[in-house]
Amino acid sequence: MDVYRDNRTDLCREEMDRLKSHFDDLKSLIEVTNIISSTLDLEQVLALVMEKAQEVMRAEASSVFLINQETQALECEIALGTHAGQLSKKITLAKGQGIAGWVWQNAQPLIVPDVQRDQRFYGQVDTQSGFVTRSILAVPLIWKDRLIGVAEVINRTDGKEYTEYDLNLFTTFGRQVALAIENARFHQLSLEQERLRQQLESAKEIQQSFMPQKLPQGENGIFDIAARNLPAISVGGDLFDVLMLDDRHVGLLIGDVSGKGVPAALYMARLMSDFRFYVQQCRQPSELLEKLNNTLVDRGRHGMFVTLQFVNIDIWTGRLCYSEAGHLPMMYMKDGNASLFPAAGNPPLGILPELTFAQKEMQLTPGDIILLYTDGIVEAKNNKHLEFGMKRLTTMLSRPWSSAMQIVEDCLKQVYLHMQSAPQHDDITLVSFQWQKAQSMS
Average pLDDT in the chain? 84
DSSP-assigned beta bridge partners for residue 78: 64
Sequence-distant (6+) residues with CB within 8 A of 321 are: 284, 285, 311, 312, 359, 360, 361, 362
Closest residue by Cα to residue 234 from 266, 255, 265, 212: 265
CA pair distance 79, 144, nearest whole angstrom: 25
pLDDT of 329-355, one tens digit each?
Answer: 999 999 999 999 887 778 999 999 989
User: Which pLDDT does position 356 carry in this prediction?
Assistant: 92
DSSP-assigned beta bridge partners for residue 61: 81, 154
Annotated domain spans of the chain: 2-189, 201-435
pLDDT of 222-264, one tens digit each?
Answer: 999 999 988 877 666 788 999 999 989 999 999 998 877 677 7
pLDDT over threshold 70, residue 441? no
pLDDT over threshold 90, residue 391? yes
CA pair distance 116, 124, nearest whole angstrom: 13
122-131, 190-199, 320-329, range with greatest mean pLDDT: 320-329
User: Which pLDDT does position 87 carry in this prediction?
Assistant: 47
Q: What is the mean pLDDT of residues 306-320?
A: 95
CA pair distance 306, 310, nearest whole angstrom: 13
* Cβ-based neighbour number of residue 265 at 10 Å: 26
Domain 2-189 homologous superfamily, CATH: GAF domain (3.30.450.40)
Domain 201-435 homologous superfamily, CATH: PPM-type phosphatase domain (3.60.40.10)
User: Which pLDDT does position 94 carry in this prediction?
Assistant: 92
CA pair distance 330, 371, nearest whole angstrom: 6
Q: What is the mean pLDDT of residues 388-412?
A: 94
Closest residue by Cα to residue 219 from 437, 442, 1, 441: 437
Half-sphere exposure in the Cβ direction for 48 (13 Å, CA): 20
CA pair distance 314, 166, nearest whole angstrom: 88
% pLDDT > 70, the chain? 85
Kindly provide the b/e burial profile for residues 365-384, where b requires at least 16 CB atoms within 10 angstroms of the residue's own CB: eeebbbbbbbbbbbebbeee
- Strand spans (E) along 212-336: 223-230, 238-244, 249-257, 306-314, 319-325, 331-334
Instruction: Concatenate the DSSP letters of all residues of 160-189 into one string.
Output: PPP-HHHHHHHHHHHHHHHHHHHHHHHHHH
pLDDT over threshold 50, residue 187? yes
CA pair distance 309, 286, nearest whole angstrom: 10
pLDDT over threshold 80, residue 117? yes
DSSP-assigned beta bridge partners for residue 338: 333
